[in-house]
């Protein structure tokens, strides 16, 4: 069997490609930058050069493929709306169009629990949890729009499904964990209200397992949460996570309400003054890691037979190994 992956050079994409290749599946993967071609080849994929909005490149890569895993995305808690739209919305539209044109049978979209972000804690949310009236941040907004397009694209010819992981982590992560480690080493990190609230997490290997389960057995037009299982206390988990990198998080804590007002003030200043870069803290980031975000993956377990392939402790141990 042959499959096509977008976002293959990213953290999730690399792990997914490796998993698929180990199962004897032929993988083609879209790559925008020439410097990333060796990364895909090392994972065992055939690189297909092109942009996520390059319909011809997408069609060329998808030719003869049975499944498309759409993992490409612009992920950030700050930025210009048009940049998010180009990748997350337009890129998804082009991916769907290419899949239809080439006769792909199944398309799995890698979304995010961020689509639920509206400024309030998210508690034990299932797939039927209503989206907020207004998403907080352009990433959440454009991912929610892309999700809707994927669900609406489902048909007898192309089965489309959405996967929402929560707090993806694991060995080789250069994004989320790197930000925690950098802040702690710079002594610019503080717990929000002590960090004593539960969160759901999803090890990248469990996400890959979930994506494959959805690709094989998912129902068209459906959304599935994938997690490591029961929630864990944020402070305890992050402490263990950064200790695998030889870092101690410290004990400084700041009230949630105070950081929220501070983040709002920073965002206002950045917008009014057209400042470069990103504010030190945003309400989007605060909503993702500064209060409870727990989701329920019962649907994936019941309908797809999804079971985590690695525990949190196994994942943490793996991160200490060379």
pLDDT at position 176, please?
87
pLDDT at position 322, please?
79
pLDDT at position 174, please?
83
Active-site entry in 109, 138, 139, 306: 139
Q: How far is CA 35 from CA 30, 32, 74, 180, in A?
A: 13, 9, 18, 27
Structural domains present in the chain: 2-173+200-235+294-319 (3.40.50.720)
CA-atom Rg of the chain in angstroms: 19
pLDDT at position 103, please?
97
**DSSP string for residues in 71-119:** ------SS--HHHHIIIIIIHHHHHHHHHHHHT--EEEEE--GGGG-SS
Mean pLDDT by 10 residues, the chain (322 residues): 96 97 97 94 96 97 98 95 97 98 98 94 96 93 98 98 97 89 93 97 98 98 98 98 94 96 96 92 94 98 98 96 82
Rounded Cα distance between 149 and 243, Å, is: 40
Contact 88, 148 (CB under 8 A): no
139 annotated active-site: yes
pLDDT at position 142, please?
97
pLDDT at position 145, please?
97
The burial class, CB within 10 Å (0-12 / 13-18 / 19+), for 245 is: middle
Would you call 205 helix, strand, or coil by DSSP? helix
Rounded Cα distance between 147 and 115, Å, is: 9
Query: Which residue shows structure tokens 């992981």?
Result: 165
């Amino acid at each position: 069997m042959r499959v096509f992956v977008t976002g293959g050079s990213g953290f999730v994409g690399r792990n997914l490609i490796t998993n698929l290749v180990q199962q004897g599946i032929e993988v083609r993967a879209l790559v925008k930058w020439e410097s990333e071609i060796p990364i895909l080849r090392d994972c065992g994929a055939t690189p297909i050069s092109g942009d996520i909005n390059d319909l011809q490149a997408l069609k060329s890569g998808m030719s003869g493929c049975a499944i498309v895993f759409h993992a490409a995305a612009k992920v950030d808690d700050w930025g210009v709306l048009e940049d998010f739209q180009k990748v997350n919305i337009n890129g998804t539209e082009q991916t769907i169009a290419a899949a239809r044109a080439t006769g792909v049978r199944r398309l799995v979209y890698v979304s995010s629990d961020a689509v639920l972000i509206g400024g309030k804690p998210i508690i034990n949310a299932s797939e039927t949890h209503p989206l907020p009236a207004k998403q907080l941040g352009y990433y959440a907004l454009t991912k929610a729009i892309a999700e809707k397009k994927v669900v609406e694209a489902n048909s007898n010819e192309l089965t489309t499904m959405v996967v929402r992981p929560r707090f993806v982590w694991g060995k080789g992560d250069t994004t989320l964990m790197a930000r925690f480690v950098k802040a702690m080493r710079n002594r610019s990190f503080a717990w929000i209200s002590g960090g004593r609230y539960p969160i759901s997490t999803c090890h990248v290997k469990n996400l890959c397992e979930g994506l494959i389960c959805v690709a094989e057995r998912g129902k068209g037009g459906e959304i599935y949460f994938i997690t490591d299982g029961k929630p864990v206390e944020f402070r305890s988990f992050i402490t263990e996570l950064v200790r695998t990198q030889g870092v101690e998080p410290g004990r400084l804590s700041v009230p949630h309400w105070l950081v929220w007002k501070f983040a709002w003030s920073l965002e206002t200043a950045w917008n009014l003054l057209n400042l470069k870069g990103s504010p030190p803290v945003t309400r989007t980031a605060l909503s993702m890691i500064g209060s409870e975000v727990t989701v329920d993956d019962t649907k994936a377990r019941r309908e797809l037979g999804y079971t985590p392939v690695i525990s949190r402790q196994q994942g943490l141990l793996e991160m200490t190994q060379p």
